[in-house]
Amino acid sequence: MAKLPPPPPPPPPGGSRGQRRSPKPERPASKNKREHEDSGPGDAAEPKPGFPRWGWWIIALIALGALLIPNFWPSNDGTSLSYTEFIAEVRDGNVAEIEVNKGSGKITGELTNGDSFNTTGGGEAGLFEGDQKFLEENGVVISYKAPSSNFLINLLGFMLPIFLIIGFLIWMQRRAAGQMGGVMSIGKSKAKAYDSSRPSTTFEDIAGYDGVKQEISEVVDFLRYPERFKEIGARVPKGMLLVGPPGTGKTLFARAVAGEAGVGFLSVTGSDFMEMFVGVGASRVRDLFQQARRMGKAIIFIDEIDSIGRKRGAGLGGGHDEREQTLNQMLAEMDGFEASEGIVIMAATNRPDILDPALLRPGRFDRQIVVPVPEAGERKAILEVHSRDKRIGTDVDMDTMAKATVGMAGADLANLVNEAALVAVRRGSKEIERIDFENARDRVVLGAQRESVIMTAEEKRATAYHEGGHALLATVLPNGDPLHKVTILPRGMALGVTWSLPQERHTYSKEYFEDTICKAMGGRVAEIVVFGHLNSGAANDLEQATSIARRMVREWGMSDRVGPQAWSGQQATFLGDDLMSSGREYSEDTARLLDEEISKLLTDQEQRAQEVLTRHRRGLELIAQSLLDHETIDGPTVARLIQQGMIESGESAPTLDDIVMR
Domain span at residue 134 reads: 77-145
Beta bridge partners of 266: 193, 300
The CATH number linked to 408 is: 1.10.8.60
Distance between terminal CA atoms of the chain?
A: 29
Domain check: are 250 and 120 in the same one?
no
Answer yes or no: do 508 and 596 share one domain.
yes
Respond yes or no: is residue 419 known to be catalytic. no
Strand, helix or coil at 70? Answer: helix
C-beta of residue 520 within 8 angstroms of C-beta of residue 481: no
pLDDT of residue 626: 92
Domain boundary among 410, 445, 480: 445
Tell me whether strands 264-269 and 192-194 are parallel, antiparallel or unpaired.
antiparallel
Specify the pLDDT at position 613.
Answer: 92
| Structural domain includes residue 44 | no
Residue 617 lies in a domain: yes
Give the integer Cα–Cα distance in Å for 120 and 105. 6
- 645 burial (CB, 10 Å; 0-12 / 13-18 / 19+) is buried
Is 20 inside a domain boundary?
no
Is there a domain that residue 654 lies in? no
Residue 465: give its domain's CATH number.
1.20.58.760
Regarding whether 562 and 624 lie in a shared domain, the answer is yes
Is 561 within the bounds of a domain? Answer: yes
CA atoms of 649 and 651, how far apart (whole Å): 6
Mean pLDDT by groups of 10 residues along the chain of 662 residues:
47 40 39 38 44 69 65 60 78 78 73 76 61 74 68 68 82 67 51 59 76 78 77 77 82 78 78 66 80 80 82 58 76 66 81 83 81 83 86 86 83 88 89 88 79 81 92 90 88 83 83 93 92 86 93 91 78 44 72 92 93 91 92 90 86 68 56
Same domain, 462 and 564: yes
Q: How confident is the model at residue 597, as a pLDDT?
A: 93
pLDDT of residue 574: 42
130 and 210 share one domain: no
Considering the domain boundaries, does residue 655 fall inside one?
no
* pLDDT, tens digit (0-9, with 9 covering 90-100), for 633-651: 988 899 999 888 888 887 7
- 559/613 same-domain check: yes
In which element (H, E) is residue 632 found?
A: strand 632-634
Domain check: are 137 and 285 in the same one? no
Tell me which of 312, 342, 370 is where a domain ends: 370
User: Do residues 350 and 427 both lie within one domain?
Assistant: no
Which has the closest alpha carbon to 312: 302, 320, 303, 304?
320
398 and 474 housed in the same domain: no
CA distance 153 to 151: 5
Catalytic residue among 304, 322, 419, 467: 467
Residue 415 lies in a domain: yes
Domain count, the chain: 4
Kindly list the strands in the beta sheet with 95-101, ordered across the sheet, starting from the edge strand earlier in the chain: 79-80, 116-120, 106-111, 95-101, 141-145
Residue at a domain's end among 344, 370, 396: 370
- Same-domain check for residues 212 and 125: no
Do 352 and 399 fall into the same domain? no
Does 10 reside within a domain? no
Q: How much is the pLDDT for 75?
A: 54
544 and 482 in one domain? yes
Phi, psi of 586 (to 5 degrees): -140, 165
Residue 92 maps to which CATH number? Answer: 3.30.720.210
Pairing relation of β-strands 632-634 and 483-487? antiparallel
pLDDT value, residue 33: 39
Identify the pLDDT of residue 455.
Answer: 80
* Residues 47, 50: Cα–Cα separation, whole Å: 9
pTM of the model: 0.64
